[in-house]
Chains A and B, each alone.
With several copies, the nearest count.
Chain A
């Protein structure tokens, strides 16, 4: 019955010990814990954000509402944004990108859980001092006259980038457009590519 203690990493033991104490003391239930895991892991993903982007590309009035009050605009679509969401729009003159230098705040209500690189010390430290250098590591080279606007998520606002709609997509449906929009484009470290013809 006794497992090899070498098999259990110390962090896993610490986790179990705390869990065990919180349950014993009436501060946690097993079921609530499991429900929480599945909700975050499974239910939210960047597709929510991609649908918002596609709608903004095809509906100018929605885009206007989205940029002035993202929470209300997204609620129209039946999606909930738990906290203050702000959508910032890329233009030919301004490229936006999102970071959280102090921890790893992320617009999970539209993009799901953050990728590991977003939480990395390299991204957190560099995005605000050398954003172009960071973008070029993602393969995105911007002209010098394009302003790079970095949004450091230091309060309760969470930022999502509305990328530029690529040309050659005029005939596409909202669903087709949504399929073009990557998570990275909505963080602001990628552009949405023109679809291959």
Chain B
């Protein structure tokens, strides 16, 4: 989706703020959210692509105001609701219960319920080596001008732009479909290098190259000349 998460090339976000004394987590809940996300993905409750989509679907103004792990939390809630594991009403009710009674606890169950079907993740990624890739190192390609409502890993700034294949990474599940339960659609992933001037015109800095890893579905040969 053409969302605010797709921020490559945007202006207005200010200087880079470097905090040398930073902590990895600013509060205990942040570490717990991260654990729940990693565990949910490892258990096949949802996959990493769906986890990213869960952040992308946050309303833009909310997304830009939410700190990093609050975005993870929103995605975690979104995906467990999307998969039918919990409902929004259950979440609201449990928040009320915990607000009234912070010491409220539940009995863990063993063994854990399996994910059925498991949501295969891209983190397990590499399906195999490419048998017959459409493009080879050195080929010119165009990143397609796609504007899907759902998840995509082809950012806006590269769409319609011409680049050159620099690496053939092998076959991977296609994030754009895998985020939506529309299948792994395994296909070759390529590294594509774009000249700065191709991406940004005269606004590009001197001697600039940007590489993206794109799936074969994202690419097409340039028009015949």
Contact = CB atoms under 8 A, between A and B. Distances in A.
Genuine A/B complex: yes
Interface of A: 1-3, 5, 8-9, 11-30, 32-34, 36-37, 40-41, 82-84, 86, 99, 101-104, 113, 115-117, 119-134, 137-138, 144-157
Interface string B2-22: 100111111111111111001
B203 A129 contact: yes
B180 interface: no
Contacts, number: 258
Which size bracket describes the interface of B in this complex? Answer: 35 or more
Given A101-B155, A121-B7, A156-B122, A147 B36 contact: no
Given A18-B76, A138-B18, A25 B85 contact: yes
A118 B69 CA distance: 14
A59 B194 CA distance: 32
Contact of A152 (B8, B101, B109): B8
Given A147-B207, A155-B169, A20 B94 contact: yes
B119 interface: no
A21 B107 CA distance: 10
Interface string B46-78: 000000100100001000100011100100110
Given A1-B103, A11-B29, A83-B123, A148 B208 contact: yes
A33 B126 contact: no
Interface of B: 2, 5-19, 22, 24-25, 27-29, 31-36, 38-40, 43, 45, 52, 55, 60, 64, 68-70, 73, 76-77, 80, 85-86, 90-91, 94-95, 97-113, 122-123, 125-126, 147, 153-155, 157, 167, 169-170, 172, 175, 189, 191, 193, 199-200, 203-215
Contacts of B154: 154
B91 A157 contact: no
A28 B36 CA distance: 8
A127 B18 CA distance: 15
A1 B100 CA distance: 10
Given A103-B5, A138-B18, A155-B153, A12 B29 contact: yes
Contacts of A137: 15-16
A150 B210 contact: yes
A129 B8 contact: yes
A55 B206 CA distance: 33
Contacts of B167: 86
B13 A122 contact: yes
Contacts of B90: 21
16 contacts: A14-B95, A25-B86, A30-B108, A33-B32, A37-B34, A41-B24, A41-B25, A102-B8, A116-B19, A126-B13, A129-B147, A130-B205, A145-B207, A156-B126, A157-B169, A157-B191
A77 to B, nearest CB: 20
Contacts of A134: 16
A147 B209 contact: yes
Nearest to B103: A1
Contact of B32 (A2, A37, A119): A37
A122 B15 contact: yes
A155 B158 CA distance: 14
